Chains A and B, each alone.
Chain A
Amino acid sequence: MADPLNAQTPHTSLSSEPEETGKPVEAGPSEEPSTGSAAEVAEDAGDVEAVEGLRRPEAAMVEDTAPDTSGLADIAVASFGEPAEAILGTDDRVQITNTSAYPWRVHASLLITAADGSSWIGTGWFIGPHTLATAGHCVYIKNSGVPGRDGWVRSIRVMPGRNGSTLPYGSVTTSTFRTVTGWANNGDQNYDYGAIILPTNLGNTTGWFGIGVFSDSQLNGSTVNISGYPGDKPAGTQWYHSNRVTAVNALKVFYTVDTMGGQSGSAVYRIENGNRYGVAVHAYGGSTANSGTRINQQVYDNLVRWKA
């Protein structure tokens, strides 16, 4: 149902439950991360994660970056004239094996059961003790072309830090979700974000990422990181890559980080002084850049309310 606190915009919050217990938000520039109560925390490495075998963005830029990407956002968002290809150039993703450590345990493998009983995989990331951010299309299916499939998904099994068949923090299944009218009513890619609400506070153990509203100048050309659970690798394994933001607009962030189906909903995050802040929610593959829903002020406000 629509939330009257944020009515009449594409960011109007929707809940999979009849009533939403939203609270007014005092928005700030950022929400801080937590490493959680579990023991192992991976070492910091500047603006990228310390992962063996990772190609630095500077190296990847040599072959991946076009000289002028200024028109990219409009092409991808407005015209849909851009073909999709989620691996950009060579596939530079690196497998994460110590998934029980922070920050990897913040990421959760999602097993999604849609309204018609079909099964899907995606990724979510903790933003608070009982809330994971994800793509809108992971919690609310739109324009599937299949009768009975569209709408709120039936359930999602959340598996933080999954590594193949190993579930270091177990799993939690929930049917409580959030998204916004811009996605649920209109299927607009610019508003493709949502949240998964857990019945437990598992995030207190795994920790979570902060979120922040960053300016165009802060994001353009900056290094962003994505880790998630792609469908083209051994089942349930987590893969990470880092590269540059190539373009932004008010609603989207475009980047040359390699992704694949199953990574929808992953955090697009930056590292500042060892702290990790989500700047977008990964959602789409494109030909010259992949893209996510930008955490602008409206998205930020909803995420803060959804994690309350």
Chain B
Amino acid sequence: MSQVINGRVRDADGRPVAEARAGYLSGPVPLPDIAALTDADGTFVLAAPVPGGYEIICSLPDGTNASQAVDVRPGEDATVTFALGS
């Protein structure tokens, strides 16, 4: 089973941000150009088909966005956390 990247999106007060959009900015292989929406808990899960370095971009509905690099090791899930918005 392939690894996954677990993401969390929080606002400046640490509250979960729903309906933020998260997708791949770069990665070790060609990746699908689809984007996940965060759930009510402000979380998302993206597949990491192979180990390696990924860059995840996360955007608020107004287009404010940030990206983070994450290293995915073989057989291990990875985690990224975004702090976005007020």
Interface residues, chain A, CB within 8 Å of chain B? 76, 80-87, 112, 118-122, 135, 137-138, 143-146, 189, 192, 230-235, 237, 259-264, 282-287, 290-291
A interface secondary structure, majority: loop
B80 CB to closest chain A CB, in angstroms? Answer: 14
**Interface flag for B23 (CB, 8 Å):** yes
Interface residues, chain B, CB within 8 Å of chain A? 1-4, 19, 21-37, 39, 44-45, 47-50, 52, 57, 59, 61-63, 65
Q: Which residues of B contact A122 (CB under 8 A)?
A: 34-35
Q: Which residues of B contact A262 (CB under 8 A)?
A: 21, 23, 33-35
> Quick check: B2 and A143 within 8 Å, CB to CB?
yes
* Residue in A85, A263, A290 with the greatest tally of chain B CB atoms within 10 Å: A85
> Quick check: A144 and B47 within 8 Å, CB to CB?
yes
- Cβ-closest chain B residue relative to A266: B33
With A118-B44, A119-B37, A235-B62 known, 18 other A-B pairs at CB within 8 A are: A80-B29, A80-B30, A81-B29, A83-B27, A83-B52, A87-B25, A119-B39, A121-B35, A122-B35, A137-B32, A145-B1, A231-B57, A260-B23, A261-B23, A261-B34, A264-B33, A283-B32, A287-B26
Q: With A143-B47, A231-B23 in contact, is A189–B33 under 8 Å at CB?
A: no
Question: How many A-B residue pairs lie within 8 Å, measured between CB atoms?
Answer: 134
From B1, B3, B35, contact of A261 by CB (8 A): B35
Q: Which residues of B contact A233 (CB under 8 A)?
A: 59, 63
> Quick check: A231 and B21 within 8 Å, CB to CB?
yes
Q: Which residues of A contact B34 (CB under 8 A)?
A: 112, 120-122, 135, 137-138, 261-262, 264
* Residue in B2, B35, B62 with the greatest tally of chain A CB atoms within 10 Å: B35
A256 CB to closest chain B CB, in angstroms? Answer: 14
* Residue in A84, A230, A259, A260 with the greatest tally of chain B CB atoms within 10 Å: A84
Q: Which residues of A contact B62 (CB under 8 A)?
A: 234-235
With the chains together, A286 CA to B30 CA distance in Å? Answer: 5
From A84, A143, A144, A232, contact of B21 by CB (8 A): A232
Q: Which residues of A contact B32 (CB under 8 A)?
A: 135, 137, 192, 261, 264, 283-284
> Quick check: B29 and A261 within 8 Å, CB to CB?
no
With the chains together, A140 CA to B18 CA distance in Å? Answer: 24
> Quick check: A232 and B63 within 8 Å, CB to CB?
yes
